[in-house]
Amino acid sequence: MTCAEIQTRLTALYDGELEPEPARRLQAHLETCADCARIAGEIRALRAQAMAWNVADGTVWDAVQAKIEAEEVRTVLAELQRLRTEVRQLRAEVAALRDQQRQGFSEQGNRPSPLLPYAPNEKTTGTRLLM
């Protein structure tokens, strides 16, 4: 086997995919060839790094996935918070408009904005418009 052939088989060697005899010949070559030994060392270092990517709770992908899901939950919660604030503001606006409406009735007997539902006032309209 040439050095080039050896080097193309190194990954298979470390993956345990080689038969015992070719694996033994590769190992023997690495002991005598500095070039191949250096490349084999690099491959082992890369594999070690890839292994280190495995985190306590499963694979890196699982960890990333969990992080993404947490991120999505945070986004949804933030949106809910925003909507809650908006609803509170709208309620305050409606309450303020109702107050204006009531004042309109009591102070001037005027009809409030026709866009707003308002309590019937038989004195001013003569008919029950609502309820």
Q: Which of 10, 26, 36, 40 binds Zn ion (CB under 5 A)?
A: 36
- Dihedral, CA atoms, 113, 118, 119, 124, nearest 10 degrees? 20
Contact flag: residue 33 with Zn ion (CB under 5 A): yes
Contact flag: residue 129 with Zn ion (CB under 5 A): no
The pattern of x and - marking residues 71 through 90 that bind Zn ion according to CB under 5 A reads --------------------
Candidates 2-10, 15-23, 48-56, 57-65 — which segment interacts with Zn ion by CB under 5 A? 2-10
In the complex, least distance from residue 58 CB atom to Zn ion, rounded to whole angstroms: 38
Which distant-in-sequence residues (6+ apart) come within 8 Å of 128 by Cβ? 120, 122
Of the pair 5, 79, the CB lying nearest Zn ion is at 5
In the complex, least distance from residue 3 CB atom to Zn ion, rounded to whole angstroms: 3
The C-alpha atoms of residue 19 and residue 63 are separated, in whole angstroms, by 35
Which spans in the chain are helix H?
3-14, 20-32, 34-52, 60-103, 122-125
Query: Cβ(51)–Cβ(27) under 8 Å?
Result: no
Where along the sequence are the contacts to Zn ion (CB under 5 A)?
Answer: 3, 33, 35-36
